[in-house]
Amino acid sequence: MRLVGETEPMSHNRNPFGAKGWTPDRIGSLAGDTFVITGANSGVGFEATRALLAKGAKVVMLNRSAEKSATAIAELKKEFSVDAPVSFVRMDLAVLESVREAAAEILEQVPSVAALICNAAISQTPTRKLTVDGFESQIGVNHMGHFLLCGLLYDRIETSGGRIVMVGSIAYKMGKRKIHFDDLNFDEDYSPWDAYNQSKLAQMMFGYELQRRVVAAGKDVVVQVCHPGASRTNLISGDVSALSKVLVRLIKPFFQSAERGSWPEVLCATEAGVKSTTLYGPTKRADTAGPVGECALADHALDVEAAARLWEVSANKTGLAWSP
Ligand SMILES: NC(=O)c1ccc[n+]([C@@H]2O[C@H](COP(=O)([O-])OP(=O)(O)OC[C@H]3O[C@@H](n4cnc5c(N)ncnc54)[C@H](OP(=O)(O)O)[C@@H]3O)[C@@H](O)[C@H]2O)c1
């Protein structure tokens, strides 16, 4: 396995943002900036939207449910003002055609993208399901849909001098710690955890590969990878097994708030001087909570051969051959 960057860097050294870690207090005015975020009607995506609106940004949510989006927007307008610049474009990451339509709509509506935040995800789908495009549902929604979206919006983000933020998970270092290239869809031995872990690892590998490609091409796009720790959200509450529901209900009270869970992605979308080959997230209790800073990054997320192969497979399967 060929690797780049540091090995298991110093998660628990001094926090570069001070003892309290990164907080949204560090953000200046975002007036004039437009952020595009997937899966923002609930959880950390909703809280990230709140944080960005609070600093004067415009936010376009890419959500799959019109009804939930209307509720979320109404809540935000109630908090900020009826004129708060938050809107929604329908996009279902489980359907590549829907991603293409949503990207076309964004290109039409948003002349300059300050950051695309790839936040939406599903987790723990109890039995193996395939998306309409034939992907196991978690790799389909979490990775393939976002890979295509990033490719379709990349040129706009580049001309905007914008950013791409990949929201991963510490699940990337659980279980088998690899992309199952020989059985990407888990035709054999499906397990909800293995499929989720693979999908979050894929998102992170893609993020670091994109970082390397942007640098190699000498382009002006910041790409960052983060995770929200363990946060109280709707993840693992819908289409999951009864056992997962019970377990999550028992441990959820110990999770941090969704608001705190949103800070790593807001950091990655706004903070100056962010670093490559770095995983931003909470840094205490095994990186599940606490001050936001730089977390340990396990070597397998930086496997350049696997990342190059994943890129090729993703481009083939989504039908979009793209690169910075
Ligand atoms: N919460 C945690 O402890 C935790 C831990 C590690 C990583 N994460 C990551 O944090 C991110 C945000 O998750 P969350 O915890 O805030 O969960 P959440 O409350 O369930 O939010 C997930 C969002 O993704 C959307 N989504 C799901 N499937 C979609 C699809 N096919 N197309 C478009 N949008 C879709 C959901 O829409 P609907 O409301 O319509 O379902 C929702 O808006 C995810 O990337 C997740 O993997 C969370």
> What CATH number does residue 118 fall under?
3.40.50.720
Asked if 196 is an active-site residue, the reply is yes
Residue 132, domain member (yes or no): yes
pTM: 0.95
CA of 269 to the centre of ligand 1 (A): 18
For residue 51 the two structure tokens come to 């944080």
For the chain, give the percent of residues with pLDDT over 70: 96
Residue 230 alpha carbon, nearest atom of ligand 1: 3
pLDDT band at 11; cut points 50, 70, 90: very low
Mean pLDDT in residue range 304-321: 98
pLDDT band at 13; cut points 50, 70, 90: low
Number of structural domains in the chain = 1
Cα–Cα distances in angstroms (integers) from residue 216 to residues 202, 209, 220, in the given order: 21, 10, 11
Q: What's the confidence (pLDDT) of residue 238?
A: 74
pLDDT digits 0-9 by tens, 216-273: 999 999 999 999 999 999 887 777 778 877 787 888 888 999 999 999 999 999 999 9
Three-state DSSP at 269 gives helix
Residue 11, domain member (yes or no): no
CA of 239 to the centre of ligand 1 (A): 12
**For residue 210, pLDDT beyond 60:** yes
In the structure, which protein residues have their CB atom closer than 6 angstroms to any atom of ligand 1?
A: 38-39, 41-45, 63-65, 68, 91-94, 119-123, 141, 167, 169, 227-228, 230-231, 233-235, 261
- Full domain range(s) for residue 303: 24-316
Which of the following is catalytic: 154, 196, 208, 280?
Answer: 196
Which residue did the predictor score with more confidence, 324 or 248? 324
Mean pLDDT of the chain: 94
Residue 160, domain member (yes or no): yes
In this structure, are residues 35 and 57 in contact, taking their beta carbons and an 8 Å threshold? yes
Residue 128, domain member (yes or no): yes
What is the per-residue burial (b if ≥16 Cβ within 10 Å, else e) of 66-99? eebbeebbeebeeeeeeebbbebbebbbbbbebb
Residue 39, domain member (yes or no): yes
By mean pLDDT, which of 12-21, 74-83, 257-266 is the weakest? 12-21
